Every structure is written in structure tokens, then in C-alpha cells.
Homo-oligomer: A and B are copies of this chain.
Amino acid sequence: MADSSTQVRPGGRSAKVRAAVHRAVAELLAEEEAETLTLPAVAARAGVHPTTLYRRWGSTAQLLNDVATSRFTGDLVVPDSGSLAGDLQRWLADVATDVADPDTLALMRAAIGSGPAGGCACTEDRHRQLGAIIRREQDRGGTALDVEAAADFLLGPLYYRAIFTPEPASADWARTLVSTYLTTLRTP
């Protein structure tokens, strides 16, 4: 008890409340506009008292950050198909499918609108996954790709289409993007 001052308590009840609140945020964002996403509204949907939300999260921005982080972290298994092209195609197709979901898009939009950290929360784990794929190829003895450059050319167009375009990209389009990237941009 000599550590800083706080003592986290992730027990059964807190976890249940947290899960209910997260589900309520996702449901409300999927149903109505992001305007009505207030803490009392989330509390009513989650069956939790509003005071709890004010104490644990404080504002809708921090709540959205929390929801986005846990929603977009550890949700995709990075496959091992044996080759870099196969790994990237499988993975980016999964990302495209996830991003094409309207409910997922609504959460991303709300997180972005909540502040500069909201957008990062949506793609931080994607960068980690991409880095893992590239590192595995390197361990196999293949080419060493730059993670940043790969993110620019693979995740960039994908998320750009999702956010700034009337209709998001499809899984097939993502696979084509990977092959185009690997055949033309591989350190010319």
C-alpha cells in the first residue's frame, strides 16, 4: 500500500458496469446521432446511475476514448499464412470488413470528434498488428518493410475511404491494394 495512492479494483461488479456502459455507448451510437450521446443517456441505457459515469469517466470524450481503445484493441487475430502477401491480404481484408460496418464507423467518427487522442485510439493497435506481420516476415528472412510507410499506403487509403467517402472500401479492394503495394512499391 506504499505505492502512489490509488488501488485499482477490477472486480466483478466494476467489470460488469464497465461492460454495460460500453455496450450502451455502442448501441446508442448505432441507433441515433452522436449529438444525443450524453452521460445520463448512456447511464439510462446501461441501467447504471449517472453518478457512476461522472465519477469514472468524467466526460463523453474520455468515455469514448475508453470505448474505442478497448473496441479496437486485440480484436483481430494476425494470421500466419506462411508468406508476407498472404498475411497482409488476410489481415487488411479483415480490417476493411470491420471498418465497413456502419456501427463501427459511427464509433470511430464519435471518437475522432471527441479530440486528438480519439483517432489514435482507433488505429494504435492496427499499427502494432502491422508491425508484428512485418517483423515476422523479417524473421522468416524476407524483405524488411518500413512500418510507417506500409501504414501510409495500406491503412491510409482504407481509413480515408471509410471516413471521407460516402462508401467504405471492400475486402476485395483491400486485397488488391496489398498486391499493388507489394509489386510496385517494394523499395524500388
Contact = CB atoms under 8 A, between A and B. Distances in A.
Interface residues of A, number: 39
Q: How many copies of the shown chain assemble into the complex?
A: 2
Contacts of A160: 151-152, 155-157, 159-160
A188 interface: yes
A60 B33 CA distance: 11
A112 B163 contact: yes
A83 to B, nearest CB: 21
A155 B33 CA distance: 27
A101 to B, nearest CB: 13
Interface in A111-148: 112-116, 118-120, 122-123
Interface string A136-180: 000000000000000111011111110111100000000001001
A177 B157 CA distance: 13
Contacts of A184: 184-185, 188
Contact of A157 (B113, B152, B161, B164): B152
A20 interface: no
B113 A105 contact: no
